[in-house]
């Protein structure tokens, strides 16, 4: 904190690393999914090409102010979460701006991007985007339930809502991780994680294959580029969130990359194995096993 | 002074004179009659004033110069002066009202009317029991004569039943009298008191017969079918006389004869009275004929007065005050109601909407209804208050309950009727004329109700601190009702601002009241400012609005429980009228009133227990309840929760608020609900957490709050009407507040008070914008809107900021509430309640998105292409609220720090630690200022970057989009709004099953079916009524002896 | 023997009451009332009666100075006078009512006049 400029530089550097890791990770995951399906798949660097292509498109249209601002909100949401998230435990400079708030802040800042995005897509005037948003919000409410329970369970366990304290308490080997000391909360949290990442079986919101649906329906060129950029950042930050909460945090960039990869892989793995839920199915699903796990996590803490 | 004997001789003489005049001199006869009645009133008034102002001693009048027992004597004391005064005024005004009817029937009718008035006077004044019998008979015969003033089958058959009934009753009285004479050897009442014949078996029976005859004259349940038929069959002018004048006289007779009977008779009489009170109000529920309904109400009120008489040993020195205020209220209200029923000439209460054609009649009707039910500023308010307090003081809780239950039944039908009057369609109904002589009497009584209300207040110690200046201001606004809305609006606004300047310094150093004052009175200013949008007269709007705000201000100023209750009831009246102004709000205004009425009775019961425990009415009494404390606190919380619309008591809110227009919606939701919060705060401060019962109450309260939050938010997500959506959202938000307060900790209360303040801000914005848009587009349904961002950019920005705040997304201030909740829940271990609250907070996203998307985004409808931005008078209040939101978003410590300091006095532990702008608890930390800066800087930087990236983007037309291979051409087909969260509904829609509404409907059905079943004893056969009377006497005899 | 009029009075009272409560014809009910009233008058007088005394009329038979010991209680007798007047008025009014009721429905059955109920 003594030198705000240095802190800013480190933060930007961190953002750069996270962005690139996010893009590479997306490439790797695509490859894995393709191989599971007995396909060759696209190259690992494809996400970079996609970004370059999107940013250099010649045509770009907008439906109005909110449409224009939607991706901005979305990106701010991703970047903001990154800013409030401490990355490397024990490092003053890699802790970003986490002094401004604790877990609760991150939890609610997630919605900043989602809301902006939803509104931007809404102004596009396309009914499919509104359908996507309504489904997404429905699903989110129930995802949050086990997640909240897990976080409260952890907060009770560590008597703190601060990332630094939570990660500090987990230092000293795998037996100190929340995963080990509070398996029920971890289970609830990791099931909720499946929902937050939006892979199958919870990808009805975006429905990537059959029909164009969901917020990105009307977005294209630079707007879509911004969204893709954000997706890369957000996937890593979400993984970092769960890493900090359940898997002992990270003391080095290597550890962070390894752990986030594995956490992310969990959602991809499930997505490859299971088919898609309808929206009422996924809403009810989160209110069954994950909710019960979350409640048990609080009872048996 | 004029001798009291003239009260009797004048009417007697004039009656004979009129008889002599013959049929050709009707006008002169009429004049004589009125002069006679005026003289009688004057004599009574003169005596009454001299008794009140000087040490005038009572005067006996002896006939023929002999003293009793050799002669009949009359007494003129304070009581007699009072009763003859009210009787004479009622008969004078009644004669004015009936002038044309009497004239039509000729001079004989006038003589009969004078005889009727005279008989009542003698009944009051006489001290001779046989004389009493004689004049009772004269009054009966005169009444029977007056009943057929309006000739017809109904009045004639009713009159005959009346004759049968009174014939039997007076015979019973006569038998009683002769036996009393047999045992005492005197007919003089004072002599009878001395003889104390009650100790003899035969003497006791004589007394029983006398008393029961007088009670039967007062129409007790169930021996009162004849009276109901008379009320229904006779002209309403006669009904007014029977209900106001005869009943007052008979009541006084009962009071007089009580002295003979002795104390053992008090409980018997009280039981007979209360049975009548409850039963006849219960039976009134199914009644649709207006005059018969008035009959039920009249009999019920008399029952209440008999009860008060019977309970007098418990009432101490307040007995007279209670009896007089209740009697005078009944007297004024019933006379007004009967008189206006004669003007409007509508038999069925559903046809009373005709009344609306004359605003004066509506005002009188409303006055009478609120007067009957004991609302301020009327005398009955103080009477009922003292009655309940004194009963509680004597430990008579069962009597309190019974009286409150009976009053509640009365409220049910009176408010239903009033709702019909205010809201039902009146286009088809016939025209009627409002003749001057028919409107003057009720108008005089209406004015008298207000004056006497003020006057009775001066007799109650606890009411001495009441501030009547706002009420005078309201009265002034009522007088200028004919002016256009903007004039009244400006005057009201000035008045409110001046009042704020006066009242605000009074709360110096009391942060809680300052916050609520800012919400109530600041809200009043914004609401009145928004009110400039309306054109025309807006008849009555300002009166009721100001009444509500006056109530709210008084609530804050209140120093004792009576003042709180006064303020609470005043606010209820104002808000009832505001809420029922909506187009289809009749059932909702009605259910609002039912819950409010039930709530106020719960409150007064709780207050009474506090009063008895503590010994006086100070606010501290709330903290020391020792008698049934669980019940007392629960009742008070229930009472206040009717206004916060908490789960179980919430069913009135969505409809009532959903139908209200923009500024009323703002007042009702953003401001009015907070009154309940204030009340809950007072109760909880009093209760504390120490006592053993407190734990259970708080636990229940916490769940009520949490469930309200959940139900409110889920229900809001499934609404199609934007206004109903906001209404349900209010239920949810108030649930948060109740939950926060139920935590009873520093953080919980901070969250609760903080939500109270911010809910006012962001919900205020939403109510004003969405309400304004609904008004402008002429529909509240969101699927009829869409794409309005292009037409109303300022409204859009306001709504956007409001919903970000509401949903608790950082960096805006709503997040503070969520953060406080997290910390409070974890540190107090109330996880599951807390999870429900946090979950409902997330459900809020559903309806918020729906609201902003369906209204502002998506496709603009063709019919809205020419819609303009909201008017400035709405935008200015909206943006004042937005500015406040932004300021406390940037510096939440501005509001949280003072709240924290204030709460230290009550909850010293668990406070927030402040390090500059960073707040921290033992668990977490949060720096609202830095979050704002970080997000602001980041957003700006990214915005700049995006501006560069997207510089080439082009704006396109509405339908230029990818849509399954074709271009849509109608906005409706591409606006996804109807049944938006269908998937969610499939999964969680069971939460929306209207179970609570079903429960209350079931209760209401049971009540009405009971009433309908038992009222069939009134078969309409005069002979059955006679059997009822005889059976009544026999049964009571068997019970008593 | 001195109670005979009192007992007669009560028997008549019951007869009158029976008439009022059981007869369906309005005129008969009114007759029941007159019997009822008469019975009450008899009761009043019999209560004022003191055995072996004479009517309270001051004439040659009852000089003023020993009136107190020779006459029965005069007050009930005075009361009866008033009472008779009243019952006369009431009966007259009832008959007038009966007349009117008959005009409306051409019947005197009290069961037929149940237009107002509940």
pLDDT in tens, A219-261: 888 888 898 899 999 999 999 999 999 999 899 999 999 999 9
Q: Is B472 on the interface with A (CB under 8 A)?
A: no
> What is the set of domains in chain C, with CATH numbers?
4-112 (1.10.287.3510)
Burial of B190 (0-12, 13-18, 19+ CB in 10 A): middle
ipTM attached to this prediction: 0.95
Chains with 3 or more CB pairs under 8 A to chain B: A, C
pLDDT at C78: 86
Q: B579 with B654: CB under 8 angstroms? A: no
User: CB under 8 Å to A267, separation ≥6 — which residues?
Assistant: A193, A194, A197, A199
Q: Which chain B residues are within 8 Å of C114, Cβ to Cβ?
A: 1019-1021
- Averaged pLDDT score across all residues of chain B: 91
Considering only the beta carbons, identify the residue of A115, A125, A226 that sits closest to B804. A115
Predicted local confidence at residue A214, as pLDDT: 66
Please report, for residues B366, B438, B482, B538, the alpha-carbon distance to residue B479 in angstroms, rounded to integers and kept in the order given. 16, 21, 8, 14
Q: Which among A71, A104, A123 has the least Cβ separation from residue B822?
A: A104
Which pLDDT belongs to residue B363? 92
Q: What average pLDDT does this structure show over B27-36?
A: 92
- Confidence (pLDDT) at B965: 64
* A114, A257 contact by CB (below 8 A): no
Going from the C-alpha of B145 to that of each of B22, B116, B461, the distances in angstroms are: 18, 9, 46
* Confidence label for C116 from pLDDT (cuts 50, 70 and 90): confident
pLDDT > 80? residue A217: no
Contact (Cβ atoms closer than 8 angstroms) between residue B971 and residue B862: yes
pLDDT > 60? residue A191? yes
Q: Does C5 touch chain B (CB under 8 A)?
A: no
**B958 touching A (Cβ < 8 Å):** yes
Q: Which of A6-10, A79-83, A210-214, B805-809 has the lowest mean pLDDT?
A: A210-214
pLDDT per residue over B253-275, tens digit each? 999 998 888 888 899 999 999 99
Give the CA dihedral B47, B49, B50, B56, nearest 10 degrees: 80
Residue of B779, B793, B781, B803 lying closest to B852 (CA atoms): B803
Q: What is the pLDDT of residues B984-1033, one digit of tens each?
A: 888 887 877 778 888 999 999 999 999 999 999 898 888 999 999 999 99
pLDDT at position B79 is 93
Q: Which of B819, B954, B986 sits opposite A104 (nearest CB)?
A: B819
pLDDT band per the 50, 70, 90 thresholds, residue A213: low
Confidence at C67, pLDDT banded by 50, 70, 90: confident
Adjacent-strand bridge partners of C85? none
Partner residue facing A127 (CB), from B923, B934, B974: B974
pLDDT band per the 50, 70, 90 thresholds, residue C34: very high
pLDDT averaged over chain A?
Answer: 89
Chain A and chain B share a number of CB contacts under 8 A equal to 239
Question: Using CB atoms and an 8 Å cut-off, which of residues 93-152 of chain A contact chain B?
Answer: 97, 99-105, 108-109, 111-112, 115, 118-119, 122-128, 130-131, 133-135, 137-138, 140-141, 144-145, 148-149, 152
pLDDT tens, B310-319? Answer: 999 999 899 9
Among positive and negative, which fits the CA dihedral A274, A276, A280, A286? positive
What's the pLDDT tens digit per position in B466-508? Answer: 888 999 999 999 999 889 999 999 999 999 999 999 988 888 8
Name the pLDDT band for A212 (thresholds 50, 70, 90): low
Task: Give, for B915, the enclosing helix (H) or strand (E).
Answer: strand B913-915
Q: In terms of pTM, does the model score above 0.80?
A: yes
* DSSP code at position A287: T
Could A149 and B835 be called an inter-chain contact, meaning their C-beta atoms sit closer than 8 Å?
yes
pLDDT of residue B602: 95
- pLDDT for B731 equals 94
B778 C-beta neighbours (distance < 10 Å), count: 8
Question: Tokens for B1040?
Answer: 């008593």
DSSP B243: I
Query: CB of C31 within 8 Å of any CB in chain B?
Result: no
What are the tens digits of pLDDT across the range A19-65?
999 999 999 999 999 999 899 989 999 999 999 999 888 888 888 88
Lowest mean pLDDT among B23-32, B132-141, C57-66: C57-66
Query: What confidence score (pLDDT) does residue B966 get?
Result: 67
Q: Give the best residue of B71, B138, B175, B294 to mutate against chain C (max C CB count within 10 A).
A: B175
- Select the residue of A105, A119, A155 nearest B923 (Cβ to Cβ): A155
Distance between CA B429 and CA B352 in Å, rounded? 9
Cα–Cα distance for residue pair B512/B903, rounded to 1 Å: 9
CB < 8 Å to A287, chain B:
987-988
Half-sphere exposure of B288 (CA within 13 A, CB side): 6
CB B788 within 8 A of CB B796: yes
The band of C1, judged by pLDDT with boundaries at 50, 70 and 90, is low
Q: How far apart are CA A101 and CA A110, in angstroms?
A: 13
Q: Cβ of A105 and B843 within 8 Å? A: no
Is chain A adjacent to chain C, meaning 3+ CB pairs within 8 angstroms? no
Q: Is the per-residue pLDDT at B910 higher than 90?
A: no
What is the pLDDT averaged over residues B75-86?
94
pLDDT tens sequence across B208-248: 999 999 999 999 988 999 999 999 999 999 999 999 999 99
CB B248 within 8 Å of CB B94: no
**What is the distance, to the nearest Å, from the Cα of residue B285 to the centroid of all Cα atoms in its chain?**
17
* pLDDT at residue number B466: 86
* pLDDT tens sequence across B322-347: 999 999 999 999 999 999 999 988 88
**Per-residue pLDDT band at B20 (split at 50, 70, 90):** confident
pLDDT at C110: 87
Q: With b meaning 16 or more CB within 10 Å and e meaning fewer, what string describes B251-277?
A: bbbbbbbbebbeeebbebbbbbbbbbb
At residue B143, does pLDDT exceed 70?
yes
Antiparallel, parallel or unpaired: β B918-920 and B925-927: antiparallel
Mean predicted confidence (pLDDT) in B632-643? 94
Calpha distance B977→B983 (Å, rounded)? 13
pLDDT confidence of residue B955: 83
Q: Decide if pLDDT at B66 tops 70.
A: yes
How far, in Å, CA of B710 to CA of B292, rounded?
45
Q: Say how far apart CA B590 and CA B613 lie, in whole Å.
A: 35
Q: Searching chain B, which residue's CA lies closest to the CA of residue A288?
A: B987
Judge whether C60 is closer than 8 Å to chain B, CB to CB. Answer: no
């Amino acid at each position: 904190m003594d030198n705000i400029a240095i802190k800013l530089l480190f933060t930007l550097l961190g953002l750069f690393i996270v962005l690139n890791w996010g893009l590479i990770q997306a490439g790797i995951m695509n490859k894995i999914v393709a191989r599971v399906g007995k396909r060759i798949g696209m190259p690992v660097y494809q996400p970079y090409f996609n970004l370059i292509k999107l940013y250099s498109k010649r045509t770009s249209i907008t439906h109005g102010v909110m449409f224009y601002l939607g991706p901005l909100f979305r990106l701010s949401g991703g970047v903001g979460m990154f800013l409030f998230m401490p990355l490397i435990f024990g490092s003053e400079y890699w802790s970003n701006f986490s002094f401004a708030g604790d877990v609760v802040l991150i939890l609610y800042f997630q919605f900043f991007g989602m809301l902006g995005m939803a509104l931007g897509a809404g102004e596009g005037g396309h009914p499919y985007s509104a359908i996507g948003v309504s489904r997404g919000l429905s699903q989110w409410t129930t995802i949050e339930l086990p997640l909240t329970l897990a976080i409260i369970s952890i907060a009770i366990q560590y008597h703190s809502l601060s990332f630094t304290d939570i990660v500090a308490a987990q230092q000293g080997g795998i037996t100190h991780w929340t995963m080990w000391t509070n398996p029920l909360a971890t289970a609830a949290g990791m099931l909720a994680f499946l929902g937050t990442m939006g892979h199958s079986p919870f990808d009805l919101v975006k429905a990537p294959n059959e029909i164009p649906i969901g917020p990105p329906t009307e977005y294209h060129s630079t707007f879509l580029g911004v969204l893709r950029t954000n997706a890369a950042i957000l996937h890593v930050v979400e993984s970092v969130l769960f890493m900090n909460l359940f898997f002992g945090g990270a003391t080095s960039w290597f550890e962070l990359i390894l752990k986030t990869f594995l956490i992310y892989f969990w959602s991809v793995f499930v997505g490859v194995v299971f088919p898609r839920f309808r929206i009422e199915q996924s809403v009810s699903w989160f209110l069954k096993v994950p909710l019960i796990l979350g409640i048990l996590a609080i009872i048996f803490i | 002074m004029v001798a009291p004997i003239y009260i009797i001789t004048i009417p007697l003489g004039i009656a004979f004179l009129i008889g002599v005049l013959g049929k050709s001199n009707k006008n002169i006869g009429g004049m004589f009659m009125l002069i006679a009645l005026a003289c009688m009133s004057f004599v009574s008034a003169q005596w009454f004033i001299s008794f009140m102002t000087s040490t005038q001693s009572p005067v006996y009048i002896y006939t023929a110069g002999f003293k009793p027992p050799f002669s009949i004597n009359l007494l003129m004391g304070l009581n007699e002066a009072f009763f003859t005064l009210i009787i004479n005024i009622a008969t004078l005004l009644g004669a004015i009202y009936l002038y044309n009817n009497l004239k039509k029937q000729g001079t004989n009718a006038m003589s009969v009317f004078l005889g009727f008035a005279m008989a009542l006077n003698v009944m009051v004044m006489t001290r001779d029991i046989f004389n009493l019998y004689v004049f009772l008979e004269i009054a009966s015969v005169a009444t029977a004569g007056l009943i057929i003033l309006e000739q017809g089958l109904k009045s004639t058959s009713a009159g005959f039943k009346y004759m049968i009934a009174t014939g039997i009753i007076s015979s019973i009285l006569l038998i009683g009298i002769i036996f009393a004479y047999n045992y005492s050897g005197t007919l003089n009442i004072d002599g009878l008191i001395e003889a104390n014949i009650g100790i003899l078996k035969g003497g006791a029976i004589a007394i029983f017969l006398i008393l029961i005859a007088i009670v039967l004259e007062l129409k007790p349940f169930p021996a009162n079918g004849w009276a109901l038929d008379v009320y229904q069959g006779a002209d309403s002018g006669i009904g007014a006389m029977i209900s106001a004048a005869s009943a007052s006289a008979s009541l006084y007779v009962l009071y007089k004869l009580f002295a003979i009977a002795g104390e053992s008779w008090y409980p018997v009489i009280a039981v007979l009275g209360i049975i009548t009170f409850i039963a006849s109000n219960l039976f009134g529920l199914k009644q649709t004929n207006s005059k018969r309904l008035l009959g039920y109400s009249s009999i019920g009120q008399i029952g209440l007065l008999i009860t008060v008489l019977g309970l007098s040993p418990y009432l101490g020195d307040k007995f007279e005050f209670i009896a007089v205020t209740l009697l005078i209220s009944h007297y004024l209200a019933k006379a007004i109601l009967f008189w206006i029923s004669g003007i409007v000439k509508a038999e069925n209460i559903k046809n009373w909407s005709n009344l609306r054609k004359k605003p004066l009649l509506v005002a009188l009707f409303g006055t009478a209804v609120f007067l009957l039910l004991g609302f301020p500023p009327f005398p009955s308010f103080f009477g009922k208050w003292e009655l309940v307090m004194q009963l509680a003081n004597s430990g008579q809780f069962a009597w309190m309950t019974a009286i409150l239950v009976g009053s509640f039944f009365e409220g049910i039908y009176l408010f239903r009727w009033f709702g019909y009057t205010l809201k039902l369609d009146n286009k088809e109904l016939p025209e009627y004329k409002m003749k001057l002589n028919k409107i003057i009497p009720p108008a005089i009584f209406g004015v008298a109700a207000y004056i006497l209300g003020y006057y009775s207040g001066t007799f109650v110690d606890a009411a001495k601190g009441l501030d009547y200046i706002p009420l005078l201001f309201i009265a002034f606004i009522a007088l200028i009702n004919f002016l256009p809305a903007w004039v009244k609006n400006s005057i009201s606004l000035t008045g409110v601002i001046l009042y704020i300047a006066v009242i605000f310094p009074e709360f110096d150093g009391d942060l809680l009241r300052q916050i609520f004052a800012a919400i109530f009175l600041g809200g009043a200013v914004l609401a009145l400012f928004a009110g400039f949008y309306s054109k025309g007269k807006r008849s009555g709007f300002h009166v009721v609005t100001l009444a509500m705000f006056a109530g709210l201000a008084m609530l804050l100023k209140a120093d004792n429980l009576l003042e709180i209750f006064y303020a609470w009831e005043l606010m209820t009246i104002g808000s009832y009228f505001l809420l029922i102004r909506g187009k289809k709000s009749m059932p909702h205004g009605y259910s609002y009133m039912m819950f409010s009425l039930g709530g106020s009775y719960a409150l007064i019961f709780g207050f009474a227990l506090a009063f008895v425990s503590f010994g006086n009415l100070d606010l501290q009494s709330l903290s020391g309840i020792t008698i049934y404390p669980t019940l007392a606190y629960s009742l008070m919380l229930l009472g206040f929760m009717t206004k916060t619309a908490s789960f179980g008591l919430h069913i009135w809110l969505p409809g009532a608020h959903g139908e209200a227009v923009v500024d009323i919606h703002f007042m009702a939701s953003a401001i009015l609900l907070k009154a309940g919060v204030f009340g809950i705060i007072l109760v909880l401060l009093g209760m504390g957490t120490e006592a053993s019962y407190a734990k259970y109450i708080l636990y229940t309260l916490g769940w009520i709050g949490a469930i309200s939050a959940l139900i409110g938010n889920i229900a809001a997500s499934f609404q199609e009407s934007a206004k109903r959506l906001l209404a349900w959202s209010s239920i949810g938000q108030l649930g948060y507040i109740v939950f926060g307060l139920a935590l009873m900790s520093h953080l919980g209360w901070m969250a609760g008070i903080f939500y109270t303040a911010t809910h006012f801000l962001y919900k205020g914005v939403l109510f004003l914008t969405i309400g304004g848009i609904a008004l402008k587009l002429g529909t509240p349904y969101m699927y009829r809107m869409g794409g309005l961002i292009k037409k109303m950019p300022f409204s859009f920005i306001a709504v956007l900021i409001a919903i970000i705040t509401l949903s608790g997304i950082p960096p805006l201030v709503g997040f503070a509430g969520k953060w406080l909740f997290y910390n409070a829940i974890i540190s107090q271990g109330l996880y599951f309640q807390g999870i429900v609250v946090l979950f409902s907070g997330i459900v809020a996203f559903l309806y918020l998105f729906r609201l902003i998307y369906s209204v502002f985004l998506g496709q603009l409808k063709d019919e809205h292409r020419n819609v303009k931005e909201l008017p400035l008078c709405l935008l200015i209040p909206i943006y004042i609220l937005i500015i406040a939101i932004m300021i406390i978003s940037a510096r939440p410590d501005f509001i949280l720090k003072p709240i924290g300091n204030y709460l230290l006095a009550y909850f010293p532990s668990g406070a927030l630690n402040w390090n500059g702008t960073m707040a921290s608890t033992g668990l977490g930390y949060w720096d609202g200022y830095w979050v704002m800066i970080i997000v602001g800087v980041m957003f700006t930087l990214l915005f700049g970057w995006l501006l560069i990236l997207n510089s080439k983007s082009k704006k396109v037309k509405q339908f230029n989009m990818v849509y399954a291979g074709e271009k849509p051409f109608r906005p409706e087909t591409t606006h996804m709004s109807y049944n938006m969260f269908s998937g969610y509904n499939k999964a969680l829609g069971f939460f929306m099953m209207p179970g609570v509404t079903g429960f209350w409907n079931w209760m209401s059905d049971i009540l009405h079916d009971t009433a309908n079943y038992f009222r069939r004893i009134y078969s309409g056969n005069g002979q059955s009524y006679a059997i009822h009377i005889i059976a009544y006497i026999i049964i009571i005899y068997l019970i008593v002896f | 023997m001195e109670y005979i009029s009192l007992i007669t009075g009560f028997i008549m009272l019951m007869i009158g009451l029976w008439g009022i409560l059981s007869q369906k014809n309005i005129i008969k009910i009114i007759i029941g009332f007159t019997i009822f009233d008469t019975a009450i008058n008899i009761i009043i007088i019999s209560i004022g009666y003191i055995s072996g005394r004479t009517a309270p009329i001051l004439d040659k038979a009852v000089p003023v100075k020993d009136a107190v010991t020779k006459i029965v209680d005069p007050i009930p007798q005075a009361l009866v006078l008033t009472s008779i007047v009243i019952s006369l008025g009431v009966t007259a009014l009832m008959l007038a009512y009966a007349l009117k009721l008959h005009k409306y429905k051409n019947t005197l059955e009290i069961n037929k006049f149940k237009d107002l109920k509940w």
